Structure 1
Amino acid sequence: MALANTAMIASSSAPHRSRIFLRDPLRMIPTVHHKFSQPHQSNFSTFRIVVHASSNGLNAVGSTSLKSDQDADYVPMPIVMIDQDSDSDATIAQLSFGDRLGALIDTMRALKDLGLDVAKGTVTTEGSVKQTKFFITRLDTGRKVEDPDTLERIRLTIINNLLKYHPESSQQLAMGEAFGIKAPEKKLDVDIATHIHVKEDGPKRSLLYIETADRPGLLVEIIKIIADINIDVESAEIDTEGLIAKDKLHVSYRGAALNSSLSQVLVNCLRYYLRRPETEIDSY
């Protein structure tokens, strides 16, 4: 598919700040939005590349030039986010690892092996950072993923593929050691890294936010702890930022938000279990 070279210049009110929008796959100036769609097919047929540049020169530096300013041994921070709120019909899994991401088709195939359908995906490059989003639904129902066990498998599948194609990322991931690759040089103090908060989120549910040292099976373990004190989990998502896991869960008790006493019980239970280094974890 040929792409015509076009350019639009829109001047803003501020002096020396105009934005140029280019559509040319050969012009690799810094911000690229690359979208593809896959409506129940294995081959991609639609591609769109949009390149944004700033005429003031601040953002008009190619990624090669940016790399040259960095230490050759620099390893960017890997980030894997499971987003349940942005799309009502699909679970969004987002992966970021500098500009080193590759083998995306293999990641999609691995997700399909879990009984999932990747209906759409986007790749966005801004400066030296590339982000990939997968819009995921269950293959059997066509609905977004709600099961915490499956959400954790999605997360670990993406991280496993990241480690496979970019083993240097293991230096920044707790999974490097867990998956038998190079363990990160930096180790977290679980007691210091663990933070738990419960906030109001309407009359019928509360928002539970957990930040702690990452490990395999973490989301499933957390939900089991919550269930043991008879609190219901309505939705859950988990983000991985290097060695840290950040979980966000909507919880309720008998159809209502948690009161202050029950919130404190929940926080105390989670803090106790998450800070135990001998806590057993599931193997995936």
Structure 2
Amino acid sequence: MFEKFEERDDEFAKLIRRINPPRVVIDNDSCEDATIVQVDSVNKHGILLQVVQVLTDLNLVIKKAYISSDGGWFMDVFNVIDQDGNKIRDQELISYIQRRLEEDDDFVPSSKGVVGLVPSEEHTCIELTGIDRPGLLSEVCAVLTDLRCNVVNAEIWTHNARAAAVVHVTDDITGCAIEDPKRLATIKELLCNVLKGNSDLNTAKMTLSPPGGVTHRERRLHQIMFADRDYVRVERPEGGAKKSRPHVTVADCTEKDYTVITMRSKDRPKLLFDTVCTLTDMQYVVFHGVVHTGRMEAYQEYYIRHVDGVPVSSEAERERVVQCLEAAIERRGSEGLELELCAEDRVGLLSDITRVFRENSLCIKRAEISTKGGKARDTFYVTDVTGSPVDPKTVDSICRQIGQG
């Protein structure tokens, strides 16, 4: 009986959304230095993340945001600019934003940054997690090369001594997904052995994403690291570079029955996506909020409740919210020296590059791997083994070994 009521409620919610589809207004006149994107829609859990995801995937910078979703209606206002700091003038891009945000299919994700959306015959998606250590990515890439797997694209994050990756691979001969069960089992076994090393026998994991899933890749990385409890802080080794910690507070707003979260941190790309993603996946709803970013600092303030309508109710829950939001801000922090590589793609290229890093005692803190039109475009964030800045002489040596081109 309860299932029937839930189905009826779900159908009623769909009917309300059809009667009141999302309405998007994009305004270039009201603000001097940014394009204003206003979204009005029937409210539902996760809608704020969906809107932020669309804007973030287009590499737009959100300078300010005003959020309000009390009652059954949702209204958000975003001040956005492009990567060069300019307003959005391209009419095709404006039309695309409007069309995507007004779609009535829960803002279906674009193929950019999506795990498992591309048909299964195009690639096999591998998810990895384990204890981070120097040379781990190099070992993973070497195993994939030996197993005749070509890395099409990948994203790797490390945080609090944990590492997570979402990797898309193809067969190096056919260029298609790997579907043979025996071969997939071999890949899983060997990668798990690498991830376990000598000290991670219980927590190293390697999974193959089911074909047809539609999970945003960066959201999936947050989910993987959250499930791996990377938000539990570990002591840093002596001599490592010290990072400025984000400042997160959780307080009660008893007169309105909300919990108020404030966050102050260094501003960076995709910061808003990362915090909203974490709140959404922790099953919190943002009812009101304001976001301001400046040259030195980003400020975020949210009035939230749990999806069951209850504010944060215990000291343990309060502490967990603080830890998880700190982790969300730190995971994508640009720790280390940024190295960009553009080269003709070939089987084993990533294995060769990461081997050079390992032989020069560099640790890869984060990486974004992509291939398009026969070209590999990779970005690595690296430090030395103590977490300190890389010696310029080491960078020169790496350039000579990999090639100046």
Normalised by the length of structure 2, the TM-score is: 0.28
Under a length normalisation based on structure 1, what TM-score does the superposition of the two structures give?
0.38
Q: Decide which structure has the larger Cα Rg and report it.
A: 2
